[in-house]
Amino acid sequence: MRKAYLFSAMAHEGVLRRDGQPYLSHPMNVANILADLKMDDTGIVAGFLHDVVEDNHAVSIEAIKKNFGEEVAGIVDAVTKIEKDIFSDESLTKEEVEVESLRKLILAMIDDIRVIFVKIADRLHNLRTMESMPPEKARKKAQECLQIFAPIANRLGLGKIKNELEDLAFKYAYPEDYEMIKIALQEKRSYSENFIEDIKKQIMELMTANGLKGEISGRVKHLYSIYNKILRQNITVNEVYDYMAFRILVPEERDCYAVMGLIHSKWNLIPGRLKDFISNPKENGYKSLHTSVIGPSGQPFEIQIRTYKMHEEAEEGIAAHWKYKDGKGIDEKDDYIIKFREEIKEIVSQSGSDLASNLNRDLHPKDIYVLTPQGKIIHLPRGSTPLDFAYHIHTEVGNHCAGAKIDGKMVPLKTELKSGQRVEIIKNPSVHPSHDWLDIAFTTRAKSKIKTWLAQNEKILAIERGKEVFERELRRFKKSTKDIEKDPDIQEGLKKAAVPDIDSLYAEIGYGKIDARAFLKRIYAEEEKEEVHIKQGATRKSFPVPVSLGGESDYLFNIAKCCNPVVGDQIKGYFTKGKGLVVHRATCSNIKRLSELFPERTANVSWNEESNENIFEIPLSITVKNRRGVLGDVTSLVSSANADIISCDAKSLEKQGMGEKGIIKLKIVVKNKSHFLKIIDKISQVEGVVSISRNAP
């Protein structure tokens, strides 16, 4: 640590922070916060060094590795990269760039959990010293904190850090709202101070008289939580009455319940506000009793009651876990970390452009509390539906969820649940998930279970979909759907199409491999001879497209020519007659329009894995300054990067009055997005290249 401190001092020598402090003050403070979090030596050393590579270009990651070892270098590298990740791909929208950098950040974090801690400590100290940052930049950083870092701190149970991050960030993210609440609370200050003192005294007397020991503290709630209440309940700041909260710490768990009993015997409780997080801890391990009561002169206030140990865990979260573990600090095998990592991975893998909001929603659940018919309390994030409830109870309950009752009344599955409701799920073994459930479910967990089922049972769905299409076409031919499989003409048709039975036919139709109308025409309209079976190889490219629909790759997939997606792009599928599932970029204007018109024909498809063959065509327009050899430079670069060029066209723009500029149109074939981005990066470095664009979807 001493060495890291000196190394950092030398690397940042002569550099000042915006507030005029020597730069070294920042890494020192970050290291200090990490030490408070009981981080291990490696983490603290990385804290000292986290900015040296970025700040002093003479220092390399290699140098850090040599001096401080691989682990420290790994953390510093991740933290540095996250900050510096600037995308040169002009075809990406601003939104896509943000999602992509967020994804990278999150993935780097789960690689080594200490990256998160260094990042959180870094952000916390930056917030503490944000005064001198230009307001616009401060606002952006602060909003990012509220959306990503505070929820992560919360998920890790770092209650104290989470509150500080929120209150500091709130001030910069929404300065006017912050001021408004601050002023309103200041006006009530002498009233609340007196009130708090008075109530503390009364509780203490009550406890002493009943032989209970403990500590009581009272405070005005933190500003950001008051702000959220205002937003949520759509009220003004003067309508927030319960802005004061008390905390009672006692030695034993049974004391918690005893104190709660005393409180309720003295003041009236507010119905629906009593929460027992001791017998039902929150997901992040938080334990406490919460209740709200109406105090003297009608003033409501909240009380949290917990043991000293529960309190320590609530404030320090994960750090409290490894604190007593022979001083070694972080334990990668800690259940807490393992669970957290799995959860994050699941969110990242299930998210597209909604990554930020999914993280925010799933990590920072504004809990609601509903009851099972047996009276068990279930915590769910706000926005959950009965379907989320069903999947929370058990995967099987979710998979056969046919309907739901709230407080005894049947409700649609998409109904949003509210705290205190009693929820009952109606099960039916013949009911199963469908694609539209993905829109009903709110939690990533339920969505993920639905996707898993869809992946494993895609054939059943294909049969259902195929049957529906087939029966519709039958009516066109004025045939009854009754006992259709016994129709000798159909039997003959099945034989010709080399399909064993009617269900297989439905499946083939559902998968888009057989066109139902062409099949029926061949049977019922002799004169029209049309090829029934679409040969896979004929319409596919020379390689199978590495896409799957809910894990099922057995469809006929095709790449849309309008937007040319490549592995790594966000994509959507659309059932096109005779072409199977055509895969578009999610941002493609065609798919947006089509999916509005025919939502039932769109499907959420995903890439299987990184493809290792050059199969993705991407048309590029490269604007260059006219220079001898620029075309040759660009094309040889593409070839040397192992991509193929299938067409090339170049012209000068001089005639269009564009001066010395020219445009090169290339159609290149690449393996995947990172391959593509690498090529773009290389091309952009060629002398004379002005801009590169991938044709807009």
| Pair 583, 563: CB distance under 8 Å | no
Q: In Å, how far from its chain's centre is CA 139?
A: 22
- Nearer Cβ to Mn ion (39/638): 39
Number of neighbours of residue 556 by Cβ within 10 angstroms: 23
| Pair 453, 433: CB distance under 8 Å | yes
How far apart CA 192 and CA 182 sit, in angstroms, is 14
- Nearer Cβ to Mn ion (96/122): 122
The least CB distance from residue 667 to Mn ion, in Å, is 43
- Nearer Cβ to Mn ion (141/287): 141
Q: Which stretch binds Mn ion (CB under 5 A): 50-58, 164-172, 273-281, 425-433?
A: 50-58
In the block, residue with structure tokens 């009965």: 386
How far apart CA 371 and CA 276 sit, in angstroms, is 13
- Nearer Cβ to Mn ion (51/166): 51
How far apart CA 75 and CA 114 sit, in angstroms, is 7
In the block, residue with structure tokens 């260094």: 118
Which residues touch 24 (CB under 8 Å, ≥6 apart)?
A: 8, 9, 12
- Site for Mn ion contains 96 (CB under 5 A): no
Beta pairing, strands 289-294 & 275-276:
antiparallel
Which residues touch 197 (CB under 8 Å, ≥6 apart)?
A: 218
Q: Which stretch binds Mn ion (CB under 5 A): 43-51, 144-152, 373-381, 506-514?
A: 43-51
- Nearer Cβ to Mn ion (17/405): 17
- Nearer Cβ to Mn ion (122/458): 122
The reply to whether 55 belongs to the active site is yes
The reply to whether 54 belongs to the active site is yes
Give DSSP secondary structure letters for 639-693: HHTT-EEEEEEEEE-GGGT-TTEEEEEEEEEESSHHHHHHHHHHHHTSTTEEEEE
- What residues form DSSP beta bridges with 692? 622
> Which residue of this chain has its Cβ atom nearest to Mn ion in the complex?
122
Q: Which stretch binds Mn ion (CB under 5 A): 51-59, 99-107, 407-415, 643-651?
A: 51-59
Q: Which of 7, 43, 51, 392 binds Mn ion (CB under 5 A)?
A: 51
Binding mask 119-138 for Mn ion (x = CB under 5 A): ---x----------------
In the block, residue with structure tokens 């949520």: 232
The least CB distance from residue 165 to Mn ion, in Å, is 15
- Nearer Cβ to Mn ion (51/255): 51
* Choice among 41, 55, 71, 85 that is catalytic: 55
The least CB distance from residue 147 to Mn ion, in Å, is 19
| Pair 587, 627: CB distance under 8 Å | no
Q: Which stretch binds Mn ion (CB under 5 A): 117-125, 291-299, 640-648, 682-690?
A: 117-125
Q: How many residues bind Mn ion (CB under 5 A)?
A: 2
The least CB distance from residue 675 to Mn ion, in Å, is 32
The least CB distance from residue 101 to Mn ion, in Å, is 17
- Nearer Cβ to Mn ion (122/164): 122
* Choice among 54, 276, 302, 471 that is catalytic: 54
The least CB distance from residue 190 to Mn ion, in Å, is 40
How far apart CA 67 and CA 76 sit, in angstroms, is 13
Q: Which stretch binds Mn ion (CB under 5 A): 47-55, 210-218, 422-430, 564-572?
A: 47-55
The least CB distance from residue 230 to Mn ion, in Å, is 33
Q: Which stretch binds Mn ion (CB under 5 A): 45-53, 110-118, 315-323, 548-556?
A: 45-53
How far apart CA 472 and CA 564 sit, in angstroms, is 32
Give DSSP secondary structure letters for 283-339: TT----EEEEEE-GGG-EEEEEEEEHHHHHHHHHTHHHHHTTSTT----TT-HHHHH
Give the angle 206-208-213 at the CA atoms, nearest 5°. Answer: 115
Residue spans of alpha helices (H) in 572-618: 589-597
The least CB distance from residue 168 to Mn ion, in Å, is 15
| Pair 617, 564: CB distance under 8 Å | yes
The interface with Mn ion within residues 524-553 (CB under 5 A) comprises none
Which residues touch 430 (CB under 8 Å, ≥6 apart)?
A: none
Catalytic residues: 54-55
Binding site for Mn ion (CB under 5 A): 51, 122
